[in-house]
Every structure is written in C-alpha cells, then in structure tokens.
Amino acid sequence: MSRRTDHTDPESLENFLRPIVQQFGCDLEAADVAPAPGRGRMLRVLVDRDGGISLDDVAEVTRAISKALDADDLMGDGAYTLEVSSPGVDRPLTLPRHWRRNVSRLVQVTLVAGGTVTGRIKAATDEAAELDVKGRPRTIAYADITKAKIQIEFNRPAGNDEPAADGTVEEN
C-alpha cells in the first residue's frame, strides 16, 4: 500500500531509510535531496558499518532503497536520481562509531579549550578516544572536541591495504 508523503526533509528521509539500511547491518550516516543538474533532484544516501562497506554491499542497499522508494510515494511525482555511497575519508568524526571505525588512522583534533592535537587513534569508547601522540597515550573526551578529521596518509603503516568502497586501495 502506497502512502503519499512528499516529505523529503532530512528527518523524514532518515526515518524512512534507516530501517532499510539496518537490514544490511549498516548505519545510515546521512540522507539529503538536492537539485540535480538539468531537471529533477538527487537523493544522496551515505551508509557505513563496522569493518567497512564493499561495492557489493552498496549495490544491495541501493537495490533495497530503490525498491522501497518505488513502493512508496516519499519522493513525490518529480524525477530524481538515487546515489548511495560510503562516507569519504574527509568526513568529520562526530559519533563514537566514526572513531571506532577509524582505529589506527591519523586524526587531527581541534579542542574546545583551543589548540589542536594530531595523533593515531588507538581505541575508542562511547565517551572518549585514546590517541598515540608522538609515542605517548592521550585520552580525549568527545565533549572536549570541536572538530576531528582523519589525515590522509600516503605512507600509511603496513597492513592497511583493504580496498575502500570506491574500489581504491591505499598502498604502502
């Protein structure tokens, strides 16, 4: 049964998409609708999960979302393009799961008290991250962070050659 909603605000989109994405063991990171070049709109959906997400995973989630949107009238009558992907390395770390998924990566943290700290993520809990800063452990509570971003490394430590969802491989 189809329901007419035409609600493409982020909250309505996320409420609609979250259970679909969760069927695949994934987290819905973001969903938004923006004007697309030419006519129509672009529905962008970002998904991720612990251990990363493969291209096959993205394809499965895309098919499920497309099928659900075809059965529902959430997007209304206008044309739209669906784009499902994983967040890029440039995504800010805003939730504990973002930190957990980036253990072993180098991060730059801007502190509420001022200043920045750069270190390698060693562990992450629901309240704080433990970093290795120049060989010394430092625990930083998320509440003390205003901004945190992964630093791109071209010579990343060995053992990190897993392919990303976009098919690229970080080589050492």
Residues of the chain under the 50 pLDDT cut = 1-6, 160-172
Give the containing element (helix H, strand E) for 13: helix 10-22
**pLDDT, tens digit, 9 for 90 and up, residues 23-53:** 999 999 999 898 888 778 899 999 999 888 8
Q: 172, 155 in Cβ contact below 8 A? A: yes
User: What are all long-range contacts of 29-33, with beta carbons under 8 Å and residues at least 24 apart?
Assistant: 29/87, 29/91, 30/87, 33/8, 33/75, 33/80
In the prediction, which pLDDT does 4 show? 36
In the prediction, which pLDDT does 66 show? 93
Which residues are registered as beta bridge partners of 123?
130
Global confidence as pTM: 0.70
In the prediction, which pLDDT does 156 show? 64
* Phi, psi of 157, deg, nearest 5: -55, 150
- Report CA dihedral (42, 43, 49, 52) to the nearest 10 degrees: -20
